Amino acid sequence: MTEQTNDTTKLSRRDFLKLGVGALSALALLEVGGASLMFLQPRSLEGEFGGQVIAGLVDSFPQGSVVEFPDGRFYLIHAPDGGFLAVYRRCTHLGCTVEWQPDTNHFFCPCHASSFDIVGDVENPPAPRALDTFPLTIDAGQVIVDTSTIRTRDNFTPEQLVYA
Amino acid sequence: MSDHDVSTWRQRFLYTAPADDRSRMRAVANNLILHLHPTKVPAPALRWTYTWGLGGISATLAVLLIITGVVLMFRYDASVERAYTSIQYLETEVAFGSLVRALHHWSANLLVVTAFLHLVRVFLTGGFKVGRAANWVVGLILLLVVVAFNFTGYLLPWDQLAFWAITVGTSLLSYVPLAGTAVANFLLGGPEVGQAALRNFYAIHVAVLPAILILLMSYHFWKVRKDGGISQPPSAPGERVERLTTIPHLVQIEFAAAAVLIMGLFLWAVFVPAPLEALADPGHPPNPAKAAWYFLGLQELLLHMHPLAALLLPGLVLAAFVAIPYLDRQEDNVGTYFRSAVGRQIALLGALYAVGLIPLLVIIDEYWLDFPALLPGLPTLISNGLIPLLLTLGGLAALYLLFRSTNKANKSEALVGLFVFVVVGLVLLTLIGIFFRGANMALVLPF
């Protein structure tokens, strides 16, 4: 004990070892935690959903029609004014699948009775925002929908429509 | 073989209790399972009408669930293609398959009820007082573990209830700011309920949660002993409470309760098989799409509030439950149901207010009250979230103040009234969700 100085800025050998063990343990914990998170990270669903879907020729969708693409999880809307829009079929409230009801011209969610109009705008809450959309391009008369990116929107605006 | 050997063997296999108190106490102390008990218990702690045996019944159910669960694992296949068929196979082809599944299913349902009632009993008798705060919190965590078990378990049959209940439940998470969507995607192993989600939930259900449950249950039991047994009214100075040996007085009661419980469950499971809906169809949710019955109280909140508010409200109630040992520090009323005569009266009032108010509020909100339409300029998060949430919390605070002022209740008694109001309210919302919600989740009459 007589060897020890009172100088607190100096690190004793014991404190150094304590600190070292503590720091290394914290590092090890971080590594294990990080590795576990990486091990468990979400696996993407390759092939089924999340790729490019060629919906078909522009002319095959009459104006004012809504066609369901179950594998792509979307509805292709050919709006009455001629624009195209692809909406994700997942209700923005709590994720149930909305159903297109052609006789009343709206999308309906049976879980909590939200409804949306033909361009996906909220007609009846509890849904907090319009149906999400997928980027859509028209190439050589073909409608192509990219299901890898989900776009959220608060409500419908005319710029969201894509024209042939 | 000597006489001594014969009597020991008889004791071991024919369960003959040792003859005198001293050896009976030693038998408890030297046995791993019985050692959960003290060698002697106060006579009043054995009153059936004090505990209703709810903790012991819950523990018995946990053991039954582990046994039947392990058996089911041998026949279940956690893949989207084969999960549903493996359940159908269990139900139709496997010898006793339907019975084992029914036992597992109904035990799980009953455990939600008994664990919840156990919480209510412990609260009402002040079982969280006098140094028992830590075990109260462990008990709350155990209740959450039971709920997590049920939530992960009902995805496994991969039927319509499974798929949509988990879809709705995990979508709720995405309303939690910042981390919500990431946590939901992590749990599901992707953006949608699919193979990765089934695999994850299976691993959590059969490995992660059982490990947590067994550790926490052991701690829960150990802590009861460490805290000096279950809560009891403080004895008057000089009063001597009679203490009885655990063998036979406590063990006999436990054995009888477990026997009646297991017999009842078997009978029920024989006649009522576990339900199985149609195969999960991601394109078509059923109408109405309801969660399992014990979540319908929370689902009912969703019909009245923005999802974030509907999450926050039970979260705040849970936080208040955790804080209760620190809010109610009055120790002299421990061990008496409802604390006192005033407390009993307040509890009755709390229940009556809930029965009068909650269904009325549900009906008013369903048909007339529409905050987003009344306040069109505000985002729904405020008009349909913050405002109803604050009104609800304000109502609870007002109720507490009412008990304090007009009924002259002390803090401890007023909290009993509030607790009873919340519990009866939750039960009522659950009943409304089960029986009074029909197609499109509209209010309907069940008859």
Q: Does the CB of B167 have a partner CB in chain A at under 8 Å?
A: yes
Q: How far is B89 from chain A (nearest CA, A)?
A: 28
Q: Do A128 and B441 touch (CB under 8 A)?
A: no
pLDDT band at A64 (very low <50, low <70, confident <90, very high): confident
Q: How far is B317 from chain A (nearest CA, A)?
A: 23
Provide the number of structural domains found in chain A. 2
In 3D space, the residue among B414, B44, B38 whose CA is nearest the CA of residue B234 turns out to be: B44
pLDDT band at A7 (very low <50, low <70, confident <90, very high): low
Q: Does the CB of A112 have a partner CB in chain B at under 8 Å?
A: yes
pLDDT given at position B141: 97
Q: Does the CB of B279 have a partner CB in chain A at under 8 Å?
A: no
ipTM of the complex: 0.77
Clarify whether residues A150 and A69 are in a common domain.
yes
Q: Which residues of B touch A106 (CB under 8 A)?
A: none
Clarify whether residues A27 and A78 are in a common domain.
no
Within-domain flag for A95: yes
Q: Which residues of A touch B440 (CB under 8 A)?
A: 110, 113
Q: Which residue matches tokens 């909290």? A: B415
Q: Is the pLDDT of residue A45 over 70?
A: no
Q: CATH number of the domain that A142 lies in?
A: 2.102.10.10
Q: Which residues of A touch B200 (CB under 8 A)?
A: 40
pLDDT given at position B11: 59
Q: Which of residues 38-57 of A touch B (CB under 8 A)?
A: 40-45, 49
B264-301 burial, b for 16+ CB within 10 Å, e for fewer?
ebeeebeeeebebeebbebebbbbbbbbbebbbbbbbb
Which token pair is B219? 């701690």
Within-domain flag for A47: no
Clarify whether residues A110 and A130 are in a common domain.
yes
Interatomic CA distance for residues B262 and B57, integer angstroms: 10
Q: Do B285 and A93 touch (CB under 8 A)?
A: no
Sheet order of strands, A74-78 included: A65-69, A74-78, A84-88, A133-134
Q: Do A42 and B285 touch (CB under 8 A)?
A: no
Residue of chain B whose Cα is closest to the Cα of A114: B440
Q: Which residue matches tokens 């599901």? A: B188
For chain B, which domains are there? Answer: 53-286 (1.20.810.10), 301-447 (no CATH)
Q: Which residues of B touch A111 (CB under 8 A)?
A: 164, 168, 285, 288-289, 441
Clarify whether residues A66 and A142 are in a common domain.
yes
Say how far residue B22 (Cα) sits from the centre of its chain: 38
Within-domain flag for A2: no
Clarify whether residues A18 and A83 are in a common domain.
no
Q: Does the CB of B315 have a partner CB in chain A at under 8 Å?
A: no
Which token pair is B114? 């008994």
Clarify whether residues A155 and A94 are in a common domain.
yes
Q: Do B194 and A45 touch (CB under 8 A)?
A: yes
Clarify whether residues A33 and A85 are in a common domain.
no
pLDDT band at A46 (very low <50, low <70, confident <90, very high): very low
Q: How far is A1 from chain B (nearest CA, A)?
A: 41
In 3D space, the residue among B199, B196, B167 whose CA is nearest the CA of residue B291 turns out to be: B167
pLDDT band at A1 (very low <50, low <70, confident <90, very high): very low
Interatomic CA distance for residues A4 and A20, integer angstroms: 20
Q: Could you list the mean pLDDT of each consecutive 10-residue stretch along chain B, which spans 447 residues?
A: 60 68 84 82 86 93 96 93 94 93 96 96 92 94 96 93 88 82 84 88 96 96 88 81 86 91 95 92 84 87 87 94 91 87 92 94 85 75 86 93 88 93 95 87 81
Clarify whether residues A30 and A57 are in a common domain.
no
Within-domain flag for A80: yes
Q: Which domain holds residue A149?
A: 52-160
Mean pLDDT of A12-37: 92
Within-domain flag for A3: no
Within-domain flag for A46: no
Interatomic CA distance for residues A98 and A113, integer angstroms: 10
Clarify whether residues A92 and A19 are in a common domain.
no
Tell me the pLDDT tens digit for each residue of A135-150: 888 888 888 888 878 8
Contacts of B77 (CB under 8 A, 6+ apart): B83, B85, B86
Say how far residue B61 (Cα) sits from the centre of its chain: 12
Contacts of B377 (CB under 8 A, 6+ apart): none
Q: How far is A128 from chain B (nearest CA, A)?
A: 7
Q: Which residues pair with B42 in a beta bridge?
A: B243
Interatomic CA distance for residues B354 and B360, integer angstroms: 10
Q: Does the CB of B372 have a partner CB in chain A at under 8 Å?
A: yes
Q: Do A113 and B441 touch (CB under 8 A)?
A: yes
Q: Which residues of A touch B177 (CB under 8 A)?
A: none
Within-domain flag for A56: yes
Helix (H) or strand (E) holding B40: strand B40-42
pLDDT band at A101 (very low <50, low <70, confident <90, very high): confident
Interatomic CA distance for residues A140 and A129, integer angstroms: 33
Q: Does the CB of B197 have a partner CB in chain A at under 8 Å?
A: no
Residue B276, classed as helix, strand or coil, is: coil
Q: Do A41 and B167 touch (CB under 8 A)?
A: no
Q: Does the CB of A110 have a partner CB in chain B at under 8 Å?
A: yes
What residue type is assigned to position B49 of the chain? T
- B174 close to B263: Cβ distance less than 8 angstroms: no
Clarify whether residues A31 and A62 are in a common domain.
no
Clarify whether residues A29 and A81 are in a common domain.
no
Q: How far is B286 from chain A (nearest CA, A)?
A: 7
Q: Does the CB of B140 have a partner CB in chain A at under 8 Å?
A: no
Within-domain flag for A5: no
Clarify whether residues A130 and A86 are in a common domain.
yes
pLDDT band at A47 (very low <50, low <70, confident <90, very high): very low
Give counts: helices (H), strands (E), chain A: 1, 11
pLDDT given at position B372: 72
Residue of chain A whose Cα is closest to the Cα of B439: A110
